[in-house]
Amino acid sequence: MLEAIGAGLAALLTPQAILFMFIGVIYGLVIGILPGLGGVVAMALLLPFTYGFEKAATLALLLGAHIATIWGDSVTSILFSVPGSAKGLALCFDGYPMTKQGQAKRALAASATGALMGGIIGAVFLALCIPLIRPVILALGPSEYLMMALWGLTVIATFSEGSLMKGLIASLLGVLVAFIGTDVVTATPRFTFGSEFLMDGISFPVAMIGLFAVSEMMKLAIKGTPIVDRSLVKEVSTVWQGVMDAVRHWWLVVRSSLLGLWIGVLPGVGASVAGLAAYAQAVQTSKTPERFGKGAVEGVIAPDATMGANEGGGLMPTLAFGIPGGESMAILLVAFIGLGVVPGPDMLTKNLDLVFSMVWIIVIANIVVTVIGLAICPALARLPTLHANLMVPIVLSVCFVGAYATRSRIEDVVVAAVFGVLGYVMDKYRYSRANFVSGMVLAVMIERNLHISLTLYGKDFLLQRPIALAMLAFVLFTAALPFFRTWRRDRKRALAT
């Protein structure tokens, strides 16, 4: 184990890995600070660049960018009350009032320090979990992994935003889209309509670029107006005040981080829920809850600490079971597939050093983001305006060139455009894009493990694997539970009236 910890760090000390992490962090900060572009867009746009480099360096690029966007998202919520993504919503409640009171520097610094402390707690948790979860993972066979993937599919839909039924439909649609191409087991071309291009299947990175980045640009193009336009207020706070605020409220940071870890571990419950949950617990546990909503610094620290820790928690099910904790983890899984890294037992045996590289990346990237963040806080506090008309053509162009660059096939540009429209429609009618992506990723795991189970144990593999059978019962129970709850609630309501 200690050897893997050392090897994980050593892999990050190569010039390529160090350079990639810095590029990732700076890129992530820029993307995060641009309203409307969140961590998912940042990661989707990076996917074409993840081939042909060292594994640790590629992960440093992706995770570094992702971690930087977490704080970048917070910046737009605090300065403009425009969350870069749903997870930044909770920061608008107190961050923006602080900005209006001339305390933008303090809010930004408290947010960066809170995220750093949360991020480190998350990384430590991930490192501590590995030896504990290793025996469990190694005891599971393909049948259990099949059940795990099915559970991931249903539980992600259950906990996703919006309608449960639509969540399940989106997951199923994602699974079916992943089956486009030649079936690796039977060599049957599926849903290819005779197209040679579709024989290779839909490229996951291209689909991600379309679903998230192109569709987000369509939304911005519709806006067309300045995304943010504010009058500047005279600053009366300092960066140091914000840092000390986070340190002074260390117990709030620890509580919020633990909440973030727990939410991160639950598959499908993303950081958007984590931020709001952290805010709610900060209010509930405060001795002066009346200050919240009017510029309480605790309302900034708690969501950021939670979102920082959320990453460590989210990586656990992603690495151990191949079940993504949220949209960004699903994209990370896509990158793993591209790198030839298979989550599951291999991750905790053959690739253990890579897992520890990720733990180190979380720690180092969080420190780098905080140092850069604190340095640029004063400049950010003076940021007056940003316009959609500047971002749309630039990001859309990068999306299309990036889609082409993935496999040097022009048809991928068409796929990105089609998935862009699909992503827009799904977002508008509340068919969760996160579920769709999770479905795409889990499809591979479901089909592979089913075929292996059938080959190893025959058609009645469930009867031969009692743990898998028990897991199936659990899957059915968790899938039915929300429907039962809705039915019971309706019945109670009907009886009351």
Partner 1 sequence: MSRRTQDNLVAAVLLAVFAGVIWLCQDFGPRARMIPLPLAIFGLILTAIQIVWQNLRSTDELRMHMIAVPAPDSTGARPVPVPESKPAVGRGPSWREEAGAMGVVLVLLALVLLLGPIPAVFLFTGGYFVITRHYSLRAGVIYTAVFTAATYLLFFVALEIQPYHGILAPLFAQ
Axis crossing angle, helix 298-321 with helix 352-380, rounded to the nearest 10: 160
Whether the CB-CB separation of 210 and 420 falls below 8 Å is answered with yes
Question: Please, which residue, 177 or 253, has the CB nearer to partner 1?
Answer: 177
Question: Which residues are CB-neighbours of 328 under 8 A, at least 6 positions away?
Answer: 39, 40, 43, 66, 314
Q: Is the alpha carbon torsion for 434, 437, 443, 444 positive or negative?
A: negative
Within positions 324 to 353, which residues make up the interface with partner 1, using CB under 8 A?
A: none
User: Which of 442, 386, 429 minimizes the C-alpha distance to 226?
Assistant: 386
Query: Would you count residue 164 as binding partner 1 (CB under 8 A)?
Result: yes
d(C-alpha 324, C-alpha 302), whole Å: 24
d(C-alpha 457, C-alpha 280), whole Å: 49
d(C-alpha 263, C-alpha 258), whole Å: 9
Q: Which two tokens stand for residue 206?
A: 């291209």
Query: Would you count residue 435 as binding partner 1 (CB under 8 A)?
Result: no
The total of other beta-carbon atoms located within 10 Å of residue 284's CB is 9
Find the radius of gyration of the CA atoms of the chain: 22
Annotate each residue in 281-320 with x if it binds partner 1 (CB under 8 A) or - if it does not, as one string.
Answer: --xx----xx-xxx--------------------------
Least distance from partner 1 to the Cβ atom of residue 136, Å: 26
d(C-alpha 246, C-alpha 237), whole Å: 15
Question: Please, which residue, 237 or 432, has the CB nearer to partner 1?
Answer: 432
Whether the CB-CB separation of 444 and 178 falls below 8 Å is answered with yes
Query: Would you count residue 441 as binding partner 1 (CB under 8 A)?
Result: no
Q: Which of 20, 27, 49, 461 binds partner 1 (CB under 8 A)?
A: 49
Query: Would you count residue 128 as binding partner 1 (CB under 8 A)?
Result: no
Question: Please, which residue, 173 or 337, has the CB nearer to partner 1?
Answer: 173
d(C-alpha 376, C-alpha 29), whole Å: 11
Query: Would you count residue 183 as binding partner 1 (CB under 8 A)?
Result: yes
Query: Would you count residue 30 as binding partner 1 (CB under 8 A)?
Result: no
Within positions 69 to 88, which residues make up the interface with partner 1, using CB under 8 A?
A: 81-83
**Piece of 23-31, 37-45, 418-426, 464-472 that binds partner 1 (CB under 8 A):** 418-426
Q: Which of 277, 307, 369, 440 binds partner 1 (CB under 8 A)?
A: 277
User: Which of 210, 254, 238, 267 minimizes the C-alpha distance to 395?
Assistant: 210
Query: Would you count residue 216 as binding partner 1 (CB under 8 A)?
Result: no
Q: State which H helix or E strand residue 215 sits in.
A: helix 215-223
Strand partners, 385: 229
Query: Would you count residue 240 as binding partner 1 (CB under 8 A)?
Result: no
Query: Would you count residue 469 as binding partner 1 (CB under 8 A)?
Result: no
Query: Would you count residue 425 as binding partner 1 (CB under 8 A)?
Result: yes
Cα–Cα–Cα angle for 474, 478, 481, rounded to 5 degrees:
130
Query: Would you count residue 6 as binding partner 1 (CB under 8 A)?
Result: no
Query: Would you count residue 464 as binding partner 1 (CB under 8 A)?
Result: no
Query: Would you count residue 246 as binding partner 1 (CB under 8 A)?
Result: no
Q: Which of 401, 456, 463, 473 binds partner 1 (CB under 8 A)?
A: 401
d(C-alpha 233, C-alpha 254), whole Å: 32
Q: Which of 431, 437, 438, 453 binds partner 1 (CB under 8 A)?
A: 431
Query: Would you count residue 414 as binding partner 1 (CB under 8 A)?
Result: yes
Cα–Cα–Cα angle for 448, 208, 78, rounded to 5 degrees:
130
Could you give the 3-state DSSP secondary structure of residue 102?
Answer: coil
**Piece of 37-45, 349-357, 360-368, 425-433 that binds partner 1 (CB under 8 A):** 425-433
Query: Would you count residue 55 as binding partner 1 (CB under 8 A)?
Result: no
Within positions 96 to 115, which residues make up the interface with partner 1, using CB under 8 A?
A: 96-97, 100
> How many residues of this chain bind partner 1 (CB under 8 A)?
84
Query: Would you count residue 169 as binding partner 1 (CB under 8 A)?
Result: yes
Question: Please, which residue, 357 or 449, has the CB nearer to partner 1?
Answer: 449
Q: Which of 2, 188, 460, 497 binds partner 1 (CB under 8 A)?
A: 188
Q: Which of 486, 488, 491, 492 binds partner 1 (CB under 8 A)?
A: 486
Query: Would you count residue 156 as binding partner 1 (CB under 8 A)?
Result: no
Q: Which of 18, 54, 190, 462 binds partner 1 (CB under 8 A)?
A: 190
Least distance from partner 1 to the Cβ atom of residue 477, Å: 16
Query: Would you count residue 410 as binding partner 1 (CB under 8 A)?
Result: yes
Query: Would you count residue 479 as binding partner 1 (CB under 8 A)?
Result: no
The total of other beta-carbon atoms located within 10 Å of residue 485's CB is 10
Measured CA to CA in angstroms, residue 394 lies from 31, 50, 83, 169, 409 at distances of 12, 21, 21, 33, 21
